[in-house]
Amino acid sequence: GEVSKKMFAGIWKGYNWQESHVGYVTNGVHMPTWAASEWKAFYTEHLGAQVFENQSDPEAWKGIFKVKDEDIWNMRMALKNKFINFVRREFKARWLANQGDPSAVMEIVDKINPNALIIGFARRFATYKRAHLLFTDLDRLDKIVNNEKFPVQFIYSGKAHPADGAGQGLIKRIKEISKMPQFLGKIIFLEDYNMIVAKRLVTGVDIWLNTPTRPLEASGTSGEKAEMNGVLNFSVLDGWWYEGYRFNEKAGWSLTDKRTFTDQAQQDKLDAATIYSMLENEIIPLYFAKNSKGYSPEWIQYIKRSIGDIAPHFTMKRMIDDYIARFYDKEAARSKRLVADDFAKARDIAAWKQHVAAAWDGIKVFDVKRAEASNVVTGSTFVTDIIVDTNGLGHDLGVEQVVYRLENGEEVLSRIDEFEVVKEEGNVLTYELKDNIKDAGVFRFGYRIYPKNAELPHRQDFAFTRWI
């Protein structure tokens, strides 16, 4: 939403991007399509068939917290083994057919380990998605994947656009690394990425990894598909995970949405080091903190929180609910009012716009009276009077104060204060604002004239503005 506001800011002159009427709806995924058949049966048994009718209602998912830990672990292991068998069946023949070294192929197949922590990364290989990030420090990665006590494996898949040479280069590099002796069978690249491979991945791995360059991720729906199958997310706070992680920060892992370096190469190194550190010190120990029944109770709690607290907010049903509530219902109601009585309201608005446009250039500001800035201190009342010849627009003309606060070298919209008409002499109106100064700090402020009409859907529908 914020990125879109910035993209389109230049269309409406005189308005800051933070004031933009441009809205957004976060993508959701179709749960009945992307949840494995085993999970759909599981949800029906434990949550009831109502969960499919009420996917966007968090209450419909609360039953997951009452499910036995062991049942969830068994489900996860069943899907994990199904994925491993899929890889062995589908890719063994493919790798051999591509004239791969038979002994190397068999070593890869034999090393796929259901007892390992399996981390998946699969998507379109655009460079901003930073598929290379994990390979910044191969020595450190070597230690992670070759820890016999805590085995870890990475599964990669995806395609690059035919015209994206850089993306194709990333795939080539990953395949080269996967064939290095220390990574053979520990880093695996699945070719010919398609919906079948995608579904097996988002249902079968333990963690879904996403490392986009901030803030370029549009949504990242693969992570939404994964969470509906009990797969935990580990992602940069961007796209959907920027919202999802905030529903419960004990339901996955994140890299901050803030940049530390302006130089992207330095930022990549920092993010890679952070990923290695979180894997070594948090994620891997948590997964392998297994009890006598062979699973980590706290890992299961992460899965429950991911499904119960996050999943309902990222279904297709919730997405449609948002479109209806935020846009379609409002547009339908407005349309009904505009067309009533042979478009009477639409005609009124069009006539008003013509009147304002004709009078706009004739508006004159006679005077701006305010206290000297040097006399303004915190806690004082700051009175401003602005005298305007409205050129016949009268109360259809509004005046406001726009205040920006200086934060970390950037100007952030702080507030907008509306002036009141305190005196009227024909077309000349006196506008007054009594501003109680409460906040200390560095501010920049200005005054803006604009046309007022309660029948507009938003200010920028008729974006006439003039800064005084």
* Residue 454 confidence (pLDDT): 93
* Residue 311 confidence (pLDDT): 95
Do 23-314 and 362-467 share a fold? no
**Domains of the chain by residue range:** 23-314, 362-467
Buried b (16+ CB within 10 A) or exposed e, 124-158: ebbbebbbbbbbbeeebbeebbeeeeebbbbbbbb
How many angstroms separate the CA atoms of 394 and 92, rounded? 79
* Residue 375 confidence (pLDDT): 65
* Residue 192 confidence (pLDDT): 81
* Residue 376 confidence (pLDDT): 67
Instruction: Render each residue's pLDDT in the chain as its tens digit; 468 residues.
Output: 888 999 998 899 899 999 999 999 999 999 999 999 999 999 999 999 999 999 999 999 999 999 999 999 999 999 999 999 988 887 776 666 665 677 777 777 777 888 999 999 887 777 767 777 888 889 999 999 999 899 999 998 888 888 888 778 888 888 888 888 899 888 988 888 888 888 999 999 999 998 877 787 878 889 999 999 999 999 988 889 999 999 999 999 998 877 777 877 888 888 888 999 999 999 999 999 999 999 999 999 999 999 999 999 999 999 999 999 999 999 999 999 999 999 999 999 999 999 999 999 999 999 999 877 666 677 778 899 999 999 999 999 999 999 999 887 788 999 999 999 999 999 999 999 998 877 777 888 899 999 999 999 999 999 899 999
Rounded to 10 degrees, the C-alpha dihedral 184/185/186/189 comes to 90
Closest CA to 319 of 8, 118, 29: 29
CATH number belonging to the domain at 362-467, selected among 2.40.50, 2.60.40, 3.30.1380, 3.30.360: 2.60.40
DSSP string for 393-435: -GGGEEEEEEEEEEETTEEEEEEEEE-EEEEEETTEEEEEEEE
The answer as to CATH 3.40.50.620 being correct for domain 23-314 is no
* Residue 272 confidence (pLDDT): 86
E strand segments, 182-319: 187-190, 207-210, 232-236, 252-255
* Residue 96 confidence (pLDDT): 66
* Residue 100 confidence (pLDDT): 64
What element of type H or E holds 158?
none
213: left (phi over 0), alpha (psi -120 to 50) or beta: beta
How many angstroms separate the CA atoms of 207 and 201, rounded? 10
**Which tokens belong to 98?**
């591509």
Residues 270-293 pLDDT 10s:
888 899 999 999 999 999 999 999
φ/ψ of 435, rounded to 5, equals -105, 115
Residues 288-330 pLDDT 10s:
999 999 999 999 999 999 999 999 999 999 999 999 999 999 9
